[in-house]
Amino acid sequence: MAHSILWLEEKNKAGAKPAPRSRRRAMTYDEKSGRMVPVEDDLGNPVIERLPAAGHTGPVTHASPMQVRRAIEFLKFDGSMIAAQITGAAAAVPDTDRSHELYITAKARYHGWVEKGVCPCDAVMSGAIKKQRIVDKGVREAIDKGERCQRTAPSQPPCKHFRAEEAARKARNVEEDAKRCEAAKSDAAKSADRHTEALLTLTERLAGEAAKKAGGGK
């Protein structure tokens, strides 16, 4: 089977326009203003996201993108967002072979990926994912209470449940990463850590004793 991702070449000729709909400004939710704001890197440059490109039809000079849903954006179990492509190739003709889409949606269901714009409570209640996959306690409680939000457009701010779930998944991922780092440390590194700790304790004790002596001499 061919590789399922097919990126279209962009700007392969000087002055050529990039393929439409294959890149966009990265946006994030801003807690303070309650709006979506553009993401900037540490130098203040705009962050650009690449998306799975759609195939084009028509003459090379005036090609227009095919009207096909190329990818679904998901919040993954580790708290990151991905655009999972659902057609086998950028040039796939709509409504012909849906096998890759079925594979991706089954995978998303198994791992508890939440589609962007969908409330996690709604995803559980509609049967898209299982409740066990929800990480945030508050969202689990909201599900028990029967709360659910309307679907929002991907450009709109996500609902509070989505934001809480995203933060909880990210926090869990950081925690698990730290555990893996600790487990992967060599014996030499662990022994060096213990030496450093012992030295610090000794220094603190000596400093404490010196302070006591200085205090007693007055």
Does the protein bind Zn ion through residue 159 (CB under 5 A)?
Answer: yes
Nearer to Zn ion, 108 or 114 (CB): 114
Contact positions with Zn ion (CB under 5 A) in 89-148 = 119
Nearer to Zn ion, 8 or 119 (CB): 119
Instruction: Pick from 161, 164, 165, 169 the residue near Zn ion by CB under 5 A.
Output: 161
Nearer to Zn ion, 108 or 121 (CB): 121
Burial 176-201 (b: 16+ CB within 10 A, else e): eeeeeeeeeeeeeeeeeeeeeeeeee
- Cα–Cα distance between 188 and 185 in angstroms, integer? 8
Q: Indicate the residue type of 23.
A: R
The secondary structure element, H or E, covering residue 114 is strand 114-115
- Cα–Cα distance between 115 and 34 in angstroms, integer? 20
Does the protein bind Zn ion through residue 19 (CB under 5 A)?
Answer: no
Main-chain dihedrals φ then ψ at residue 214, nearest 5 degrees:
-60, -40
Does the protein bind Zn ion through residue 149 (CB under 5 A)?
Answer: yes
Nearer to Zn ion, 72 or 149 (CB): 149
> With CB under 5 A, what is the number of residues at the site for Zn ion?
4
Positions touching Zn ion (CB under 5 A) are 119, 149, 159, 161
